[in-house]
Amino acid sequence: MTYEAGVRRDPSDRRPLPESDPVLVEQLRAEIATGGPLTFARFMEVALTEPGHGYYAIATDRQTRSGDFLTAPELHPIFGAVVARTLEEAWRILDRPDPFHLVEYGAGTGALAEAILRGLEADRSDLRVALRYEPVEVSAVHVELIRDRLSTAGFGDAIASVLAGGTDRRARMGAIVANEFLDALPVHRVEMAGGELRELFVTWDEGAGRFAEVAHEPSTPALAERLVAEGIELAEGARAEVGLEIGPWLDDATSRIERGYAVVIDYGRPAAELYGPDRAGGTLRAYSGQRAHDDPFVAIGRQDLTAHVDFSAVERAATERGWRTVGLTSQARYLLGAGLEEILRGRQADPGLDAPAYLALRASVMRLLDPRALGDFRVLVLGRGVPADAVLGGVTGPGDADPTPSGPP
């Protein structure tokens, strides 16, 4: 058994997958009947975000231990405590603005927000009072659940003023956080066949009674243009995913924060590695019940669909919108450089830490650092309107070699 993006990848696991949402299946079939095969990006968009039916629109426990995959914030609050220190550094670099807006894309259950706020409290940081938290989620129901969680935890003041209505975004200072968000943006699927780039569309196979893929001319020249811009030549027979939604996402992020930082944490690689021979079959994966598989055409609306992030494309699109790259590193290197060990020692010294809690903490830290689990994720930090010589702990420095931790101190 191996691990991939926080879930187990066990070929011997033959448990049945959930049934597809019949409303989504009929909607997609109707679109195909009316307009012909769909781009995979459209199929993925409907399956994940269709109001009332898409996976992200209805699932409330998707990234928890009881859900389909487990993210770093859900693994242990110590992850959020480290991110809190990065945010405090950013706040000080910006001369301690009040308010300091924190916008989190794909906020999920609010676990990361709560851990950040608790981390700031534990550090007695003045940022705790200045911080104004804004979750961005597909469903308003999820936003309300996050509001309830933070209010119950005693952090209602950090979220209520933003959600209450229409804060003017001009001249806002703060930070964007996107943890395992970009991997779920819709992607187009392409392949190299006969020396030509072809796009893989989604059609309905009446005989098989299920969706299937069919190759056609690309739906947009932007697909080939992206690969050319990155110097990528796919090998004959190779498949790949191309995400064209990165630019629109950055447009939205830029509209929310005029000066500040963006912290992007996800699984992915620069283009030269992402489209290399080791990934000739592409990186599209489906996640259900804490396991990964390769069929996007089952459990529609009931499973997650993701693809590795092209960090070269993110950096290029960010530069076009006035951001600069502050640093790009592995999650393991980031966590250790941003203060994980100091926070860990403090928690280990807590007399209230019992044996089960200690073991959970230790196991979580090892998984956060393990390059076979979450430690190999990339952490990209962008800055906009910030001092050119400003650095943030954990994302700068010579090289990008991953540490090889032998265990928590």
Residue with tokens 């705790």: 128
Band (61; pLDDT cuts 50, 70, 90): low
* Nearest alpha carbon to residue 262 among 100, 382, 181, 180: 382
137-188 pLDDT, tens digit per residue, is 988 888 999 999 999 999 998 986 555 444 556 679 999 999 999 999 999 9
Q: Which domains, and CATH codes, for the chain? A: 1-62+188-241+275-305 (3.40.50.12710), 70-185+243-267+308-409 (3.40.50.12710)
So what's the pLDDT on residue 352? Answer: 87
Q: What is the average pLDDT across 218-247?
A: 97
Q: What is the average pLDDT across 46-54?
A: 95
So what's the pLDDT on residue 402? Answer: 46
Band (13; pLDDT cuts 50, 70, 90): low
So what's the pLDDT on residue 209? Answer: 95
More reliable by pLDDT, 65 or 292 = 292
Q: How far is CA 305 from CA 2, 41, 64, 144, 293, in A?
A: 19, 11, 16, 24, 10
More reliable by pLDDT, 396 or 172 = 172
Least confident stretch, 2-11, 19-28, 53-62: 2-11
CA–CA separation, 257 vs 104, rounded Å? 12
Average pLDDT of the chain to the nearest whole number:
89
99-149 pLDDT, tens digit per residue, is 999 999 999 999 999 999 999 999 999 999 999 999 999 888 889 999 999
Cis before 99? omega within 30: yes
pLDDT higher than 60, residue 98? yes
pLDDT higher than 70, residue 2? no
Band (7; pLDDT cuts 50, 70, 90): very low
Band (382; pLDDT cuts 50, 70, 90): very high
Q: What is the average pLDDT across 186-202?
A: 98
Q: What is the average pLDDT across 342-349?
A: 92
Give pTM, 2 decimals.
Answer: 0.90
So what's the pLDDT on residue 394? Answer: 87
So what's the pLDDT on residue 139? Answer: 85
273-318 pLDDT, tens digit per residue, is 999 898 999 999 999 876 789 999 999 999 999 999 999 999 999 9
- Three-state helix/strand/coil letters over the chain: CEEECCEEECCCCCCCCCCCCHHHHHHHHHHHHHHCCEEHHHHHHHHHHCCCCCHHHHCCCCCCCCCCCCCHHHHCCHHHHHHHHHHHHHHHHCCCCCCEEEEEECCCCCHHHHHHHHHHHHCCCCHHHHEEEEEECCCHHHHHHHHHHHHHCCCHHHHHHHHCCCCCCCCCEEEEEEECCHHHCCCEEEEEECCEEEEEEEEEECCCCEEEEEEECCCCCHHHHHHHHCCCCCCCCCEEEECCCHHHHHHHHHHHCCEEEEEEEECEECHHHHCCHHHCECCCEEEECCEEECCCCCCCCCCEEECCEEHHHHHHHHHHCCCEEEEEEEHHHHHHHCCHHHHHHHHHCCCCCCHHHHHHHHHHHHHHHCCCCCCCCEEEEEEECCCCCCCCCCCCCCCCCCCCCCCCC
So what's the pLDDT on residue 190? Answer: 98
Q: What is the average pLDDT across 233-252?
A: 97
Q: What is the average pLDDT across 51-68?
A: 68
* Nearest alpha carbon to residue 392 among 178, 113, 84: 84
Q: How would you list the strands of the sheet with 304-306, edge to edge?
A: 2-4, 7-9, 291-293, 285-288, 304-306
So what's the pLDDT on residue 162? Answer: 54
